[in-house]
Structure 1
Amino acid sequence: MAESTIESAKRAAAIQAVEENFDPAATHVGIGSGTTIVYVVEAIKEKSTNPNILFVPTGYQSRQVIVKAGLTPIAFDSLPDNVRLDIAFDGADEVDDQLNCIKGGGACLFQEKLVAERARKFVCVADYRKKQNRLLTNWPTIPIEVAPIAVPTVLQSLRSLGSSEPKLRTTLLEKSGPLKTDQDFFIVDAPFPTLLTSDDVKAGKGKGDGSDGSWEVNNLSQAIKELTGVLEVGIFSGLNGVEAEASAAKGGSNNVKVIIGGQKPVAVYFGMQDGSVEVLKAQ
């Protein structure tokens, strides 16, 4: 019964997210990974009347979902330089009040971040279990994609940053060894204390820089990303796509226009236990 409730919640969230955000006139659409995205693709298939839309997957699983639906996939690295995705749909392992996300439970975080940053807007679809006030409330760890040769060094550095027991993720058959990503990298899962938001730091609830044992979302993401051997961190924070495009239009401090999208979603659709859908939107 619980599983049926969860799947119904995922489907309801996907249907509403697609109904309110998918434009049949779009030319390029990002499709993330995970079980919720299956329902997103189903909803797009029902709504789409344009056979020329190209769908960019974040990994092997999402590409198979696209193909099975009779839609047309295109590899991320096949996109022309001047093309941005009209929208990207993806799930999350946990989302906080500021729409920061933890992703990477399915080991696709690097490609998920590539697609999110290439999209004009990223819409997240999830079930009620993923909705938390702060990251690392229910979801236990931060997934980190690491070069195999660097795993011992990264594990030691993560402990220095305050992770209690970071571990290399293995396959379901442990004798098969570490889980490999689509990039042939490994995944390290690092537990940390519940993360602060930027508002928490402003309110004096912690320094957020690790010096007092507390970490703010963006600060921890940056600290981990700076470790040699780390390809990507499963924290999606900072700007969303709309904010990033507005920032790029201003040209930055050097007056150079750089088109890089945001990591955070512009909206998150949570399917709830009672069959309703709760929507959190960027302020």
Structure 2
Amino acid sequence: MTLNPVEAAKRAAAYAAVDAHVKLSHRYIGIGSGSTVPYVVERILAQGDEANKERWFIPTSFQSKQLIVGNGLRLGDIDTFPEIDVAIDGADEVDNALNLIKGGGACHLQEKVIAQAAKELIIVADYRKRSSVLGTNWTQGIPVEVAPVAASQVLASLKRLGSTDAHLRMAKAKAGPVVTDNGNLCIDAPFSTAYLRDPAQLNSQIKQLVGVVEVGIFPGMAKAAYFGNQDGTVSIQHEDGSFKENITVEI
């Protein structure tokens, strides 16, 4: 199948990440969310029925649950399997220290739960998601999942913290706000890159606000990130700060 350059980049990143990190010995695998993840599942399926029949796959969202079930893989849950061998997920932006912004799909609470449970969190993305400082490419704002009763109060607090344009995310296909998989609301809180030079501190400040359920900043959680490039190669960023560029992937 011929893909456009962006989709080909996503596929290359997903394939490379699965090849390197989803071992035949792994039994509990977290499946993330986003447009790159279908290629992750595609590559896992290519490992064969013999490998996958002994595995449990734990989703981060309704989307990933449907991917697991729709492809005939065994669906698990975090209550049953609180320790996961590896989780592969997408990201909205990745900085030079492997800090992440996630939550463009409003499922960052479950994504963070799975990430915390995984021995390794591996990120797959295309070249557009890579930046030196968070907030450079992803300018829509930090996704903040909030209890509905506290939405107005949290909005006011975020504005005092420095996100003067913080706003409730509204649905596009219906009237009203976006409702998360957990029945909460989602606030998008844009911060300048000056605030995001210390993403762990900003994550902590937002998380402490009463009514905040989870924050779409993932500081220091990823082990590696795989970026698909326009030329079909992959760049790999490791938690120790090292990079490998222009890796060829067998498709």
Q: Is TM (by shorter chain) over 0.5?
A: yes
In 2, Cα distance between the equivalents of 1:10 and 1:85? Answer: 24
Given that residues 195 and 217 in structure 1 are in contact (C-alpha distance below 8 angstroms), is that contact kept between their aligned partners in structure 2? no
How much has 1:230 moved relative to structure 2? Answer: 0.2
RMSD: 1.3
| % same residue | 46
Determine the C-alpha separation between the residues in 2 that align with 1:163 and 1:196: 9
Structure 1 counterpart of 2:161, which letter?
L
Q: 1:68 aligns with which of 67, 70, 87?
A: 70
Matches within 5 A, 1:254-265: 264-265=221-222
Q: Is the 8 A contact 1:163 1:192 kept in 2?
A: yes
Amino acid at match of 1:276: T
CA–CA distance in structure 2, aligned partners of residues 75 and 119 of structure 1: 13
Structure 2 contact 142–189 (Cα < 8 Å) conserved: yes
Alpha-carbon distance between aligned partners in 2 of 1:47 and 1:69, rounded to the nearest angstrom:
13
The equivalences for 1:152-171 within 5 A come to: 152-171=152-171
Counterpart CA distance in 1 for 2:73 and 2:228 is 25
CA distance in 2, matches of 1:217, 1:183: 25
- Runs (5+) with no aligned partner, structure 2: 241-251
8 Å Cα contact 2:86/2:121 also seen in 1: yes
SS in 2 for 1:178: coil
Number of residue pairs the alignment of both structures matches: 235
Equivalent in the alignment of 1:185:
184
Aligned to 1:119: 118
State the match for 2:32 in structure 1.
Answer: 32
Query: Where does residue 136 of structure 1 map in the other structure?
Result: 135
Larger Rg: 1
How far apart in 2 are the matches of 1:143 and 1:77? 25
Moved over 3 A (4+): none
- Quote the Cα distance in structure 2 between the aligned partners of 1:98 and 1:7: 25
Please tell me whether the aligned partners of residues 100 and 217 of structure 2 are also in contact (alpha carbons under 8 angstroms).
Answer: yes
TM-score, normalising length from structure 1? 0.81
Q: Deviations over 1:71-101 (max 9, x none)?
A: 111122232xxx5100000000000000000
- TM-score of the superposition, structure 2-length normalised? 0.91
Give the 3 Å change call, closer, same or farther, for CA 196–149 of structure 1 in structure 2.
Answer: closer
CA–CA distance in structure 1, aligned partners of residues 106 and 61 of structure 2: 9
Match of 1:207 in 2: none
Q: Which residue of 1 aligns with 2:223?
A: 266
Structure 1: unaligned runs, 5 residues or longer: 198-214, 239-263
